[in-house]
């Protein structure tokens, strides 16, 4: 049992070897899903083939995954995400302020705006999109009510409960981009003792579960992770 006072080492979760194994399993799951569809085989086959072609076009570009270039890797992520998620249509947009999700309306695609152009914010907001179901995707900011920094102990506990899976996905996406991951408890001005929070360990265990059981990943998370890991293993 990991002590709550010790933060787990997230970087140890996805070695190059582990990334290859996870990608192999995701590819197998993708193939199984395609082959098992008996109601309308053409749609999943078309979607699978289309994703592969779009993915190849973006991944084979000169890309910055191994570079420490915030703007370049963010531009690359935007291009990759917007190539992958055309059905249902949603676009990833570099924002100048705080992050926000806008549902599709008036024939305009849904829009994920991430904070201040930061790469980490982009992955975090994408993770919330992946976790959100169809109903929440029809609501601004997925229907969440956000309590700002300085939350009470009860508010912080509620925040951490709903953040475990999104931050676990964010961790996987981040590691697949060869970047370091750090949990965010997002409450710098708390006036209570936060040292006994198990949140980092909870996120860590959820990441381990996703790696061990990739079939439990949300569908869109599988799609993006498969793309990121493909790039990871190609370069």
* Number of folded domains that form the chain: 1
Look at residue 31 and tell me if it is in a domain: yes
Q: What pLDDT digit, counting tens, does each position of 84-142 carry?
A: 898 778 999 999 889 999 999 999 999 999 999 999 999 999 999 999 999 999 999 99
| Dist. CA 222–CA 23, nearest whole Å | 10
pLDDT at 65 over 60: no
Other CB atoms within 10 A of residue 202 CB: 19
Q: Is residue 2 part of a domain?
A: no
Report residue 6's pLDDT band, with 50, 70 and 90 as the boundaries: low
86 part of a folded domain: yes
3-state helix, strand, coil in the chain (%, to 5): 60, 5, 35
Give the pLDDT band of residue 33 (cuts 50, 70, 90). confident
Query: Is residue 76, in this structure, part of any structural domain at all?
Result: yes
The answer to the question of residue 14 being in a domain is yes
Confirm whether 5 is domain-assigned: no
Q: Average of pLDDT values for 204-224?
A: 97
Mean pLDDT of the chain: 82
pLDDT of residue 38: 46
pTM assigned to the model: 0.84
Task: In whole angstroms, give the CA distance from residue 71 to residue 6.
Answer: 32
Q: How far is CA 100 from CA 97, 123, 159, in A?
A: 9, 13, 17
Q: Which domain holds residue 72?
A: 10-234
Q: Residue 66: pLDDT band by 50, 70, 90 thresholds?
A: low
Pairing outcome for strands 90-94 and 110-114: parallel
Do residues 56 and 79 lie in contact, with contact meaning Cβ atoms separated by under 8 Å?
Answer: no
| CA–CA separation, 91 and 104 (whole Å) | 10
Please check whether residue 135 lies inside any domain of the structure.
Answer: yes
What is the C-alpha separation between 65 and 72, in angstroms, rounded? 9
Side-by-side strand order, sheet with 90-94: 90-94, 110-114, 100-102
Mean pLDDT of 15-34: 91
């Amino acid at each position: 049992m990991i002590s709550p006072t010790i933060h787990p080492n997230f970087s140890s979760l996805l070695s190059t070897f582990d990334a290859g194994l996870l990608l192999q399993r995701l590819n197998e799951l993708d193939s199984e899903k395609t082959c098992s569809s008996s109601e309308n085989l053409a749609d999943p086959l078309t979607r699978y083939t289309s994703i592969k072609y779009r993915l190849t076009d973006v991944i084979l570009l000169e890309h910055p995954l191994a570079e420490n270039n915030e703007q370049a890797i963010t531009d690359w992520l935007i291009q990759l995400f917007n190539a992958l998620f055309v059905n249902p249509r949603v676009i990833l947009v570099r924002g100048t302020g705080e992050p926000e999700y806008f549902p599709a309306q008036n024939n305009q695609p849904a829009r994920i705006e991430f904070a201040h152009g930061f790469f980490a914010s982009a992955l975090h907001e994408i993770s919330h999109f992946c976790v959100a179901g169809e109903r929440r995707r029809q609501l601004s900011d997925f229907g969440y009510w956000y309590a700002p920094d300085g939350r009470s102990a009860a508010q912080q506990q509620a925040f951490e409960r709903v953040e475990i899976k999104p931050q676990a996905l964010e961790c996987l996406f981040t590691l697949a981009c060869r970047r370091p991951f750090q949990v965010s408890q997002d409450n710098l001005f708390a006036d209570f003792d936060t040292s006994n929070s198990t949140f980092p360990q909870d996120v860590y265990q959820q990441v381990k579960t996703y790696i061990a059981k990739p079939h439990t990943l949300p569908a869109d998370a599988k799609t993006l992770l498969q793309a990121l890991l493909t790039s990871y293993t190609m370069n």
